[in-house]
Amino acid sequence: MSKELSENQLSYIGHLQLDRLLSCLQPLSTHPEEHIFITTHHSLEIWFKQLLFDLKRIIAHCDADELGQVNWLLKRVAEILRLAEAHWTVLETMSAADFLEFRGRLTGASGLQSRQFRELEVLCGLHEIAGEEYGRRVEDAWPGMIAGTPRTLRAAFFGVIARSGHRPEDIYRNRWRQFDLFTLLEGVFELDRRVAAWRQSHILMVRRQIGMRTRGTGGMVGQDYLAATTRQLFFPELWELRHDMSADAGGEVVAAGEPKK
């Protein structure tokens, strides 16, 4: 039995606005499996919101060279992304046969229209490296999104590195003496790696549910569009650095695009 609340006390339902939040689950069909489909989307959108919130804090802490806070929050970001990826195996308990019984009701609704997912990419600075075509697509879908994001994680991260006076390769070499900078490098790399894993697992889930050659409700064909997005990295420099480190350690690194023998 819960105790009575006095007039100036908040209730659980009131603080969390649960009536509003939970009333958002409105299936279009009578198919019982549409419930988990909507729940998965809602859950991921709520986590996207938290990621955007924390990434903005991380950017501000980077600009103030507060690496303790940056590295602490990057740990949380990595944990949330790990959790985000786990959503795909939950959704896969909805069989393809069940999904295809209500998929037609979705008409044009697609994750492609997730504003928060695109904001995440832009806040990390993808438009700064992914080429003009990417920037045009974002601007067509969300006019003003790029201009409304004056400071990105990429810019803030490279700002910290430049002010430190150390190159990433030297930070790796001197990692125990420059532990905060090393942790920062690994923290942003981990973010990149986990978003890449989220994209890959989304693709596997899509393959399972509709196949990769079926046109999506957003109009794209998975094998062309989704497969291409797996090449989008926020910190390609840090991935590339692995080649330099391998070569320095005596490993043979083939040139990009060179056929393997």
Residue ranges in contact with ligand HEM by CB under 6 A? 40-41, 44, 91, 99, 110-112, 114, 117, 202, 206, 209-210, 216-220, 222, 225-226, 229
Nearer to ligand HEM, 142 or 225 (CB): 225
Q: Say how far apart CA 75 and CA 58 lie, in whole Å.
A: 11
Nearer to ligand HEM, 122 or 160 (CB): 122
For residues 182 and 166, the answer to whether their CB atoms sit within 8 Å is no
For 148, the token pair is 């409304």
| Least separation in angstroms between CB 111 and ligand HEM | 2
| Least separation in angstroms between CB 38 and ligand HEM | 9
| Least separation in angstroms between CB 136 and ligand HEM | 14
For residues 77 and 57, the answer to whether their CB atoms sit within 8 Å is no
Return the SS3 of 221: strand
Nearer to ligand HEM, 85 or 180 (CB): 85
Nearer to ligand HEM, 48 or 189 (CB): 48
Q: Say how far apart CA 157 and CA 58 lie, in whole Å.
A: 9
Nearer to ligand HEM, 161 or 227 (CB): 227
| Least separation in angstroms between CB 48 and ligand HEM | 7
HSE, side-chain direction, 13 A CA sphere, residue 203:
18
Closest CA to 124 of 174, 187, 203, 176: 187
| Least separation in angstroms between CB 33 and ligand HEM | 10
Q: Say how far apart CA 237 and CA 128 lie, in whole Å.
A: 13
For residues 123 and 52, the answer to whether their CB atoms sit within 8 Å is yes
